[in-house]
Amino acid sequence: ANLTQLLTEQRKHVTPALSRLHDHIIVKGQGSKVWDETGAEFIDFNAGIGVTNLGHSHPAVTAAVIHQAQQVSHVQCSIGFSLPYLQLVEALRPMMPHESLDTFFFWNSGSEAIEMALKLVKRATNRNNVIAMVGSYHGRTHGASGITRSKPIYTQHTGPTMNGVYATPFPYWHSLGVDPSTPEDELVRLAIYQLELLIKTQTAPTDVAALFIEPVIGEGGYVPAPAAWLNYLREFCDKHGILLVLDEVQSGFGRTGKLFAAEHVPGFKPDVLVFAKGLANGYPLSGVASRKELMEKQEVGSIGGTYAGNAVACAAAVAVAEVFKTQPILENVNARSKELFDALYAIRDSPKTGHLVADIRGQGLMVAVEFRTEADPLTTKGLAAGTAIPKDIGKRIQKKCHDNGLLLLTTSCFDTIRFIPPLVITKDEMAQALKIFNAAVEEVAR
């Protein structure tokens, strides 16, 4: 088949409402690399937006998928169990960031799992309202986009979304309108003030079913939640009988250097944990974990879904869990993370490129660099007068990196490049990628 011709002719018939970074066909993926229809090779720092955490076509995952497809590919979850469904429950229980998360429901996507969590918290508390974080992204379905606060586009022109959603600032300098150099404890103090103000002025806490939070804000700019903020939220929720839902769709399965980002705060206990992406390394599967007592507050038969917990996807996830158990994936994340941060700090500290950088943040291999932009004076505060800041720094770097064999993503908000390579990326691949990135930054700075 002539792939270029296929691409040219058929892409016109794919909805134009789908944005696409590159008009290429990825025909092969192996570990941290992918190849397009022309044979061009790329180091993949997108990993399908933080999905193929164990690398493309991981042999153990592929073998599990082939095996399960040969046994039985679909067992509808309200009719019976597939073997991998129960094996996955068994594998996940000891992996949960808190032992109280002992009861599971599987779905296909992160958004659907968020929908499930929304219904779960409302049914469990008999309350209607929800508090979300400014900057958060929870998905594009109606309920999930209704609690998303990263960009208005997801709900634009779709009429009223779910009622009773309130948003409070994340302890992040952008949401609070303060300098990027503001110390973390001050950010937390300001965010606490805003949350307390919210329940004094906008909704009674006794009407709030749950608070939804990403432990590392994802699409909204890659901002880790300070431990003091999460600890405060736990106390706040306990005080008011509010459930705490942790969205680890992007941060879960090793991404931040722990199996779940919640573990960065010792003893931290979410009431509901939502996960997807890395769970099955590319096969559509998501999950909600909670306490049995909360799960029991839903009518039997009120939840379910045709493909929910698909047998092949569950088999992939069981293989993923086994890899985490037997291989030093997290050690690699932490070693590569240090190399990545060191390289970004060097860019910030260099007289050639430092003036471009507003902020560097993240955890493990969920890292971002934010560039200064004239459009946001917060990011240029303190710059020597007359320093020129190029426009669209992130997009230009992204393009140059692509042309030199490195796939990178921006985030939805602000001028930010994010780094989410497969967690198995090697030292050499990281060095090669950083060389390409550095050269692109220097070129833009010139």
Nearer CB in complex with ligand PMP: 77/276: 276
The 8-class DSSP code of residue 109 comes to S
The residue ranges that bind ligand PMP (CB under 6 A) are 49, 109-111, 114, 137-139, 214, 218-219, 247, 249-250, 276
Q: For the CB of residue 108, give the shortest distance to ligand PMP in the complex, in Å.
A: 8
What region, left, alpha or beta, does residue 90 occupy, with left being phi > 0 and alpha being psi -120 to 50 degrees?
alpha
Q: For the CB of residue 356, give the shortest distance to ligand PMP in the complex, in Å.
A: 26
Q: Which residue has the closest beta carbon to ligand PMP?
A: 110
Q: Do 21 and 48 form a contact (C-beta atoms < 8 A)?
A: no
- Record the tokens describing residue 58, joined without a space: 């991981």
Nearest residue to 167 (alpha-carbon basis) of 132, 191, 199: 132
The 8-class DSSP code of residue 56 comes to B
Quote the distance between the C-alpha of residue 416 and its chain's center. Answer: 15
Q: How far apart are CA 70 and CA 48, in angstroms?
A: 26
Nearer CB in complex with ligand PMP: 77/273: 273
Q: For the CB of residue 218, give the shortest distance to ligand PMP in the complex, in Å.
A: 4
Nearer CB in complex with ligand PMP: 173/212: 212
Q: How far apart are CA 101 and CA 122, in angstroms?
A: 18
Nearer CB in complex with ligand PMP: 111/332: 111
DSSP string, 360-399: EEEETTEEEEEE--TT-HHHHTTPPTT----SSHHHHHHH
Q: For the CB of residue 150, give the shortest distance to ligand PMP in the complex, in Å.
A: 9
Q: For the CB of residue 317, give the shortest distance to ligand PMP in the complex, in Å.
A: 14
Nearer CB in complex with ligand PMP: 130/434: 130
Q: For the CB of residue 421, give the shortest distance to ligand PMP in the complex, in Å.
A: 16
Nearer CB in complex with ligand PMP: 276/295: 276
Q: For the CB of residue 259, give the shortest distance to ligand PMP in the complex, in Å.
A: 16
Nearer CB in complex with ligand PMP: 109/168: 109
Nearer CB in complex with ligand PMP: 70/156: 156
Q: For the CB of residue 112, give the shortest distance to ligand PMP in the complex, in Å.
A: 7
- Record the tokens describing residue 245, joined without a space: 């839902």
Q: Do 218 and 250 form a contact (C-beta atoms < 8 A)?
A: yes
Q: Quick one: three-class SS letters along 225-293? A: CCHHHHHHHHHHHHHHCCEEEEECCCCCCCCCCCCCHHHHCCCCCCCEEEECHHHHCCCCCEEEEECHH
Nearer CB in complex with ligand PMP: 140/297: 140
Q: How many CB atoms lie within 10 A of CB 181?
A: 10
Give the β-pairing of 216-217 and 223-224.
antiparallel
Q: For the CB of residue 217, give the shortest distance to ligand PMP in the complex, in Å.
A: 8
Quote the distance between the C-alpha of residue 290 and its chain's center. Answer: 20
